[in-house]
Amino acid sequence: MELILDGLKSVLELYAGSLPAPIIGLILIIGSLRVILKPLFALAYAIASVTPDKKDDEAVKKIEEHKITKAIYFALDYIASVKLPPKK
């Protein structure tokens, strides 16, 4: 495991050294948002689905369908996702 982490560290240092600071900051912000939002919404869905009250289900759905939430998810998905060519 330590060998893998050392290899990953050297690759990150190589790429981070060749990128301008604003791009590194943008990558860190995008990565942080993905790391925070995914588990947060998964937890909210899990809690809402196990409670008998339907108001919390509606609240989670309302937050998810809000324009700002959709815009954040779209931007994260568009900017930070790996785009693979379609299979032939």
- Give the DSSP per-residue string, 38-50: HHHHHHHHHHHHH
Instruction: Please say if the pLDDT value at position 75 is more than 70.
Output: yes
Instruction: Please give the distance of CA 28 from its chain centroid, rounded to a whole number.
Output: 11
Band of residue 57 on the pLDDT scale cut at 50, 70, 90: confident
Q: Domains in the chain: how many in total? A: 1
The whole domain housing 30 covers 2-80
Angstrom distance (rounded) from CA 46 to CA 38: 12
Per-residue pLDDT, 67:
92
Instruction: Look at residue 87 and tell me if it is in a domain.
Output: no
Instruction: Look at residue 85 and tell me if it is in a domain.
Output: no
* Mean pLDDT calculated for residue range 31-59: 84
